[in-house]
């Protein structure tokens, strides 16, 4: 769970980390990780990506199943996939339900608050439907990131293994911060799961696609990368008993 960010908890950026990579703490990696929605075109070195993903193998997983699998794209291979997705409608039926139909009002309020802050940062008015749609459409290009990690796993895996994959992805994202890199997890791409699996040569019969992870260097000047992210106070989510 991420810590609440407020006036007494300033958001750390990769600039802070770059000042002294050797002293980067877990806390600063957690606090500076965010869903980056504007990247520069600066390339990401293959050896850095391999190093991050090699270390991420030690993320926890129940029964040591290590269920995660991934393909990492850049260059023409990435551009070709993004072009295919733009030309096709989302798949039907969906790969999985992203937002449960019976989700409670409290959770919807959290979604709305974060969305309002994001669109305000982008200069998009509440009644600007076209502007909001254009913002969503930027998912197709990974918000300009030069690298896209595609995460999938065998269909035989159950809910506990979905949790394992989330822990692996968080490990990857924090290790990216250690390298001065930024990311954006994209469940949106599950709307094109079959197109993606066909593009990378993964069987739709045997595997379910979970999400993409855009990877690159954040554009620090973009307002969409700087709005304060709302978080629920700790005492509303966690109870301490017997202390």
Tens-place pLDDT, residues 150-206:
999 999 999 999 999 999 999 999 999 999 999 999 999 999 999 999 999 999 999
Mean pLDDT value across the chain: 92
Check: CB of residue 228 under 8 Å from CB of residue 5: yes
Split into its structural domains, the chain has a count of: 1
Question: In sequence order, which residues have a C-beta less than 8 Å from that of residue 143 and are 6 or more positions away?
Answer: 36, 37, 38, 39, 184, 214
State mean pLDDT over 85-90: 97
Number of Cβ within 10 Å of residue 84's Cβ equals: 15
Whether pLDDT at 14 is above 50: no
The answer as to whether 118 is a domain residue is no
The answer as to whether 70 is a domain residue is yes
Q: What is the pLDDT of residue 101?
A: 93
Check: CB of residue 22 under 8 Å from CB of residue 178: no
Looking up tokens 């019969």 gives 205
- The CATH number for 206's domain is 3.40.109.10
The answer as to whether 136 is a domain residue is no
Q: What is the pLDDT of residue 23?
A: 62
Structure tokens at 71: 């393909």
The answer as to whether 124 is a domain residue is no
The answer as to whether 29 is a domain residue is yes
Cis amide linkage into residue 16, ω under 30° from 0: no
Structure tokens at 226: 């700087």
Q: Which domain holds residue 173?
A: 14-99+141-221
Please state the pTM of the whole predicted model. 0.90
Q: What is the pLDDT of residue 22?
A: 53
Is the backbone of residue 62 left (phi > 0), alpha (psi -120 to 50) or beta? Answer: beta
Number of Cβ within 10 Å of residue 224's Cβ equals: 22
């Amino acid at each position: 769970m991420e810590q609440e960010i407020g006036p007494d908890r300033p958001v750390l950026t990769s600039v802070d980390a770059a000042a002294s990579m050797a002293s980067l703490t877990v806390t600063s990696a957690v606090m500076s990780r965010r869903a980056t929605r504007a990247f520069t075109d600066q390339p990401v070195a293959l050896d850095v990506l391999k190093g991050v993903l090699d270390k991420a193998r030690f993320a926890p997983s129940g029964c040591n199943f290590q269920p995660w699998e991934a393909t990492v794209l850049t260059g023409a291979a990435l551009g070709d996939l993004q072009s295919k997705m733009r030309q096709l409608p989302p798949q039907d039926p969906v790969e999985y339900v992203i937002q449960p139909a019976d989700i409670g009002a409290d959770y919807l309020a959290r979604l709305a608050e974060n969305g309002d802050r994001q669109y305000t940062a982008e200069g998009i008015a509440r009644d600007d439907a076209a502007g909001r749609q254009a913002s969503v459409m930027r998912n197709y290009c990974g918000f300009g990131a030069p690298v896209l990690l595609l995460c999938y796993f065998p269909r035989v895996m159950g809910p506990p293994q979905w949790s394992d994959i989330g822990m692996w992805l968080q490990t990857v994202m924090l290790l990216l911060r250690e390298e001065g890199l930024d990311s954006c997890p994209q469940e949106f791409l599950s709307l094109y799961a079959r197109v993606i699996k066909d593009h990378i040569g993964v069987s739709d019969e045997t595997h379910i696609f979970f999400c993409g992870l855009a990877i690159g260097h954040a554009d620090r000047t973009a307002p969409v990368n700087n709005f304060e992210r709302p978080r629920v106070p700790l005492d509303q989510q966690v109870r301490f008993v017997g202390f």
